[in-house]
Amino acid sequence: MTYQESISRRALLSTLAAAPLAAARKKIPVGVELYSVRDQLKQDLMGTVRQVAKLGYDCVEFYSPYTEWTTAYAREVRKLLDDLGMKNLSNHTGSRSFSPENLGHVIELNQIMGSRFIIMSSAGRVTDLDGWKKVAETLNEAGAKMKSAGIRTGFHNHQTEFKPIDGTRPIDVLAKNTGKDVTLQLDVGTCIEAGSDPVVWINQNPGRITSMHCKEWSRDPAVGYKALLGEGEAQWKKIFAAAEKTGGIEFYLVEQEGSRFEPMDTIDRCLKTFRKVHG
């Protein structure tokens, strides 16, 4: 082997060795669930989205009132996002929108917006495990109808789904009885408050935690969900590591139900902490 060949071989090996590291560093978008700035959003949706973009967020998630939009308005919002260089990757959607008479319109709105996931934000009142199996069936049926539009469905947990009914957690019923393409959008704060470990949950469901609400929770009853990201019980480094190694995370979403600061200041602080902790 000549000296030049040796140099070339070493360069090739170095490049190959660096490839996995480069892939690991691939930027995962971080967005905000706009419920965090709900009062501002109600007053001025377009202006609020512009403010969020200025903070440096990559994407936004709208919540249930968006299902009342016309297709023309959805196009206006999409144009704004395109102009700002932002994405709308998922939307929180009430269970009524999963009915046959409403689902078509919701799919059309999400197509216009470029959304990849229509997430059921709540199942409503469900009292037994058979009821949760019916919720799973609804998700499967909706997912099948969305597939041709290039959209997936999913479910967003609250405390309720992690609290056992007759010894079984509803969230486990949903995971077991839905297809692998139904995402399990993890709300970290409510999972912790209910007494479950989000890292364990992620590892039990590889590839299904495609998005996550980075919501904090404090044991201090005077604080609770008003704790800023990094001020509560969540072990974020371990959660991020599990989400990226096992969970199949595609994007993160900051959610804040309130804090001691103004809403826009709150999500600004949360984004800065996210970047510091996540890297």
* Helix (H/G/I), strand (E/B), else coil: 92: strand
In sequence order, the β-bridge partners of residue 140 are none
Q: 201-212 pLDDT, tens per residue?
A: 999 999 999 999
What are the angstrom distances between the C-alpha of 92 and each of 38, 41, 81, 169? 13, 15, 17, 22
Q: How many residues would you count in the chain? A: 279
Residue 217 near residue 190 (C-beta atoms within 8 A): yes
CA distance 195 to 202: 15
Lookup: tokens for 103: 């689902």
How much of the chain is helix, strand and coil, in % rounded to 5? 55, 15, 30
Query: How do the pLDDT tens digits run along the chain, 279 residues long?
Result: 443 444 344 443 443 444 443 444 479 999 999 999 999 999 999 999 999 999 999 999 999 999 999 999 999 999 999 999 999 999 999 999 999 999 999 999 999 999 999 999 999 999 999 999 999 999 999 999 999 999 999 999 999 999 999 999 999 999 999 999 999 999 999 999 999 999 999 999 999 999 999 999 999 999 999 999 999 999 999 999 999 999 999 999 999 999 999 999 999 999 999 999 999
Cα 103–Cα 251–Cα 267 angle in degrees, nearest 5: 100
Torsion angles phi and psi, residue 256, rounded to 5: -135, 125
pLDDT in tens, 225-267: 999 999 999 999 999 999 999 999 999 999 999 999 999 999 9
